[in-house]
Amino acid sequence: METVTIKCEICGRELANKQSFKVHMINEHKKWEQYDSDILSSFGVADQQTRVKLIAEYATGKVLDVGGGDGNIAKAMQDKGCDVIFTDISADRVANTKKRYGLKGVIADACKLPFPDRSFDTVVCAEVLEHIRPMGEALSEAIRVAKKKIIMSYPISSLWDMDETHQWQMRVTAIDRDGSHRKLHDGKGSFIVMTMNRINGNE
């Protein structure tokens, strides 16, 4: 079967699919306004809305949204009453999100966050870690600046494997007490939202 690609008219690069093309246009050619909101709904609206809603529901207090990108999650948390700062490695994304939502934004690398230890009640890493090759460094930084909890979300559907910016493929298998297990990434699984809370003297 013939493989159909999408050619970028700006640089001539051929992309494997529409998702890769949109990400390429944002990362390489700064077409943030044109494509970023479109990516949010690329693989469905309901799952993305639920993901944003859950993260906003779980977040409390002073919040750092690492790799906040389009600002949708940061805006939802701010609307809930949280004091939110978002970061992104892209200066254009930070500028555009600040302009769009009036949020407090900082240009920063997720592996080198410019904040003191335990300076945020909640740290959010939503759809971030799978993009970072030294994932452990980014997670260590999130743990360092988190005072109470870390909220992480990442895609588990194979549909997202086509995203050329991903460095890691996430898969989750849940094991029940009776020994049965199920692969959450099979069937209708799309995202995982996971919360880590400091407990037992680690507060």
The string of pLDDT tens digits covering residues 9-31 is: 777 777 776 667 776 666 566 56
108-144 per-position pLDDT tens digit:
999 999 999 999 999 999 989 998 999 999 999 999 9
Quote the number of domains for the chain.
Answer: 2
Do 35 and 63 lie in a common domain?
no
Rounded Cα gap, residues 94 and 167, in angstroms: 23
Q: Which domain holds residue 188?
A: 44-197
Is position 202 within any domain? Answer: no
Whether residues 115 and 141 fall in one domain: yes
The domain that holds 80 is classified in CATH as: 3.40.50.150
Over 60: is that where the pLDDT of 44 sits? no
Task: Give the predicted TM-score (pTM) of the model.
Answer: 0.79
Distance CA 51, CA 41 (A): 12
> For residue 197, is pLDDT > 90?
yes
Q: How confident is the model at residue 158 (pLDDT cuts 50, 70, 90)?
A: confident
Residue 203 in domain: no
Same domain, 27 and 107: no
Q: Are residues 8 and 70 in the same domain?
A: no
Confidence of residue 2 (pLDDT cuts 50, 70, 90): very low
DSSP track, 23-60: HHHHHHH--HHHHHHHHHTTT-SHHHHHHHHHHHHH--
- Looking at the structure, tell me whether residues 109 and 14 fall in a common domain: no
pLDDT at 41: 46
Whether residue 154 is contained in a domain is answered as yes
73 in a structural domain: yes
Question: pLDDT > 90: what percent of the chain?
Answer: 50
Q: Do 27 and 115 fall within a single domain?
A: no
Asked whether the predicted pLDDT for residue 74 surpasses 80, the reply is: yes
Specify if 93 maps to a domain.
yes
Is the domain of 35 the same as that of 78? Answer: no
Tell me the helices (H) and strands (E) count for the chain, helix number first. Answer: 6, 10
Query: pLDDT at position 29, please?
Result: 63
